Amino acid sequence: MQTSKRWFLLAGLLLISLACTINIGGPTPPAPPPTIDPAALEQLKANWAAALATAAVTNGKVTVTITEAQVAALLASKLAKDPDAFFQQPQVVLQNNQIQIFGVAKQANLVANIQMTITVKVDEEGTPQFQLVSADFGPLPVPAGLLEGVSGMLNEALTGKIAPSATGFRLESITIADGVMTIQGTVH
């Protein structure tokens, strides 16, 4: 009787542990995850609209400044559309011409902190070129297609729904420092 109680208890503990999510570590994010403010995404759209509206006054020159909170809100809005997204809870650090993205990766019952470091350059045609410099997913494997997915989300900040009226917009430079990304270009 005593042995069967132990086996029953052990089996119960095993089932409980299988039902739980296990955090397996990974890189430490810079701070607890901030609350993603949907207003930051709306402000980003407003910044684009205001910059484009002043283009006629500035001989077609456009400068838009994007904050860490705005990039995080953009990523969060894209990730919210896919409840099974591998990557969630984005945090963004913009420093030294790099975009550092921290978050949480989930695979089955395992959760790991992640960090991706991305650089961006502008080619001769005015197209942003994102390059994944490093990716740390703790003990989880880095998923295939990661660069394309993250690059697509960030590229939308320049050419997608945020700046839909930017047809004729030619990107000239992107500078990342002190928590902001400054985008400069011209409207033809």
Residue range 91-103, pLDDT digits in tens: 999 999 999 999 8
Identify the helix (H) or strand (E) that includes residue 40.
helix 38-53
Query: Average pLDDT, stretch 33-58?
Result: 85
Identify the helix (H) or strand (E) that includes residue 155.
helix 146-159
Cα→Cα distances 4→10, 17, 118, 165, Å: 10, 20, 55, 71
- pLDDT tens-digit series, residues 47-80: 888 888 888 788 889 899 999 999 888 888 888 8
Least confident of 93-102, 105-114, 167-176: 105-114
* Euclidean distance between CA atoms 152 and 80, whole angstroms: 15
pLDDT of residue 179: 93
- pLDDT tens-digit series, residues 136-147: 877 766 766 766
Judged against a pLDDT cut of 60, whether residue 166 lies above it is answered with: no
Please give the sequence-ordered ranges of beta strands (E in DSSP) within the chain, or none if there are none: 22-23, 61-67, 87-95, 98-107, 110-122, 128-136, 169-177, 180-187
